[in-house]
A = this chain, B = another copy of it.
Amino acid sequence: MSVTIYDIAAKANVSIATVSRVFNNHARVSPRTRARVLAVAEELGYQPHASAQSLARKKTSLVAAIIPMMTNYFFVEVIRGLQDRLAESDLDLIVYSTLTLNEVDVQLERALQRGLASGVLLFATPMTPARVARLQRSSQPVVLVDSFHADFDCVSTNNREGGCRAVQHLIDRGCTRIGMIMAHPESLPAADRRIGFEQALRQAGLPLREEWIVVSEDMKQHGFTEEAGYQAMKTLLARRTRPDGVFVTSDLQALGALQALHEAGVAVPDEMALIGFDDIKISRYVGLSTLRQPMYEMGRVAVDKLLGRMEQPERPTSHTVFSPALVVRRSTAGEQAQEKGFLAWPLDHT
């Protein structure tokens, strides 16, 4: 049924070794033979057998990406970056997406199966000692995206800086009572963003009031959901005094928060300004100010690192940090927003 190098060898009157050499550009094949083999292969419609190649070469052409919360559209762009860069190196991408972080370990186990992928991209996953150990035991090339551990190559955004700039922006626009809605603190990005938040307040000499900080203890997607944001804002609104500016650890949560604000009839940004993090596509439509992560680029860089390590397993690990860019929209700047947002609010008959 399917054509193997044996078939080609027989028909071209050469040995299978020669056929293999032709396909691997392994020099030392006379032009005549090469041409003949190629012709026969073409005629027979030969295609190398991926598993057999992997077995013989002791490496595969697959890379695994483990992506918790893929519904967070942040990752879609990153995947595109991965995909594009991988294709250039003739690698394919296996995607493991999970809804909760517990599933990550199950998927990780699958992704690390011997002889499956020749590298792993692990997204937004806190590096517990158990995970570190598991990864090291596998001795596979690994790149952490949106997470950090000194023993691995990492790509991430400067979350502290982002948090800091978000708050500075709120201050610049005149906010003095600044609060925060935070995802589960086990999430490193969330924790770092909070550090930046606190730092900026300190620098500006503004009060840091616990009353204005709401932390989502919800484990589902680490609290990076609209629902969590919605609940958090409700909680915040119920407090005795309210902040006049809130930094939210992700756009997704911020959307939920906006909903809560609207239901409560709070004017944004006049009564309360809001700024998120990520710059997912939706944010543009709703005019949410945020800190943009260079998602596509992060994907590409992650693959670069992985390829680098695949070639030189012993090279020192490195950590690439992208600076998030402030995007000012209506949720902090009102009608004066530089970037008006695509979809105008008064879409209807105001």
Interface residues of A (CB under 8 A from B): 2, 45, 47-55, 60, 62, 70-71, 73, 76-77, 79-80, 83, 92-97, 99, 110, 112-116, 137, 226, 255, 258-259, 261-262, 267-270, 281-282, 285-287, 330-331, 334-335, 342-350
Contacts and interface: CB of A to CB of B under 8 A. Distances in A.
Contacts of A76: 70-71, 73, 76
How many copies of this protein are present in the complex?
2
A114 B259 CA distance: 50
A335 B137 CA distance: 59
B114 A97 contact: no
Contacts of A331: 347
B347 A50 contact: no
A113 B48 contact: yes
B60 A51 contact: yes
Given A270-B348, A345-B350, 19 more contacts: A2-B114, A45-B137, A47-B112, A49-B55, A49-B115, A50-B60, A50-B115, A51-B54, A51-B60, A52-B55, A73-B76, A83-B97, A92-B94, A92-B116, A93-B94, A93-B95, A262-B347, A285-B286, A334-B348
Contacts of A71: 76-77, 80
17 contacts: A45-B137, A48-B113, A50-B116, A71-B76, A73-B76, A76-B76, A80-B99, A92-B96, A93-B94, A94-B94, A255-B342, A281-B282, A282-B285, A286-B286, A286-B347, A345-B346, A346-B350
Contacts of A95: 79, 83, 93-95
Contacts of A137: 45
A348 B115 contact: no
